Structure 1
Amino acid sequence: MRPRPWPTPDPVGPGQESVWDYPRPPRLERTPALLEVWLGGTVVASTREGWRVLETSHPPTYYLPHEAFAPGALRAAPGSSFCEWKGRAAYYDLLAGDPADPVVAPRAAWTYPQPSPGFEEIAHALAVMPAQVERCTVDGETVTPQEGGFYGGWVTSRVVGPFKGEPGSMGW
């Protein structure tokens, strides 16, 4: 079988960055951007003290501090997964609205309680799968979820691809 060729990066415009300039292994960096997560018509998380994980071919995955989530918005969910870079993840359901009958986004958020070296700063911070909630925003811009159903990247007008997760990207 022939190896798949790497894609040609999309052109970068003013104020944009290419995911093909991101490193592998990924880099963790702070962001002062206003990050918000919406569910059930309300903001369930908001912060200007988040982080971005930048990895070659992926749009940024944003992590919000635990304190950014509204009281009652997080419920521990069963299961775990493993990331070769960050370690073992634990999952949370996101909840909004009436506590007796909440809107629930099952396993929409994850965290690394004991992250691997280099990612200690995001211990207990949470990433959110934008396709599982009403919307996520970066400085007011509604993000497009990274394709593929497995990845949690937030696509904004500030990043260009092509992105891992799109059809045909399995071998990247």
Structure 2
Amino acid sequence: MNYPPFEEILDLQYKLAEYRKQYWIEHDLFTWQWWLLLLVFIIPWVIWYKVIPKEKKAECLSYGLLLGFLASQLDEIGINSGAWAYSYQLTQLNRGLNPYNFSFIPVAYMIAYYYFPKWKHFILANVAIAILAAFITEPILTKMGIYKTFYWKSIYSFPIYILLPIIFRFLMYYILEHNKRENAT
């Protein structure tokens, strides 16, 4: 198989980064979509700050940051595999939708994590968030020209939006329980 040398790949990556930066400056920055993404990034954190009590902020934040990190990684996988792309970005630093990955999604799940301590209610809240995210927010982002899917469908996102918060809640509960046992001895 004939493939380009590593230096040529690096050169193409540098050019692509420059093209993306120029595109962002000339196409994204200060458009109404950019302002919307800025609000989507800021408003959930303001809500989070007001509705999560001080004594639970660290626990909820740990849970939410785990979710945000994984959402960001899954977003990169989707972008790299050609499942979707974003026509507008808040910053040009990466290709994922950071306001969604690090604000909207984790804050929604942190609020559910805090307000629904019983598993049944927590799962129902996650289903509601999954419906909102997959079947309302994603299509709205598509109509606004921010999100463009290629072979991905919202129905594929739906179970992911339900399962990930449940998995991370198990993980958080395990860590917290393990920590309690460690401190008790």
The interval holding the TM-score normalised by the smaller chain is under 0.3
Q: Which has more radius of gyration?
A: 2
What is the TM-score normalised by the length of structure 2?
0.23
What is the TM-score normalised by the length of structure 1?
0.24
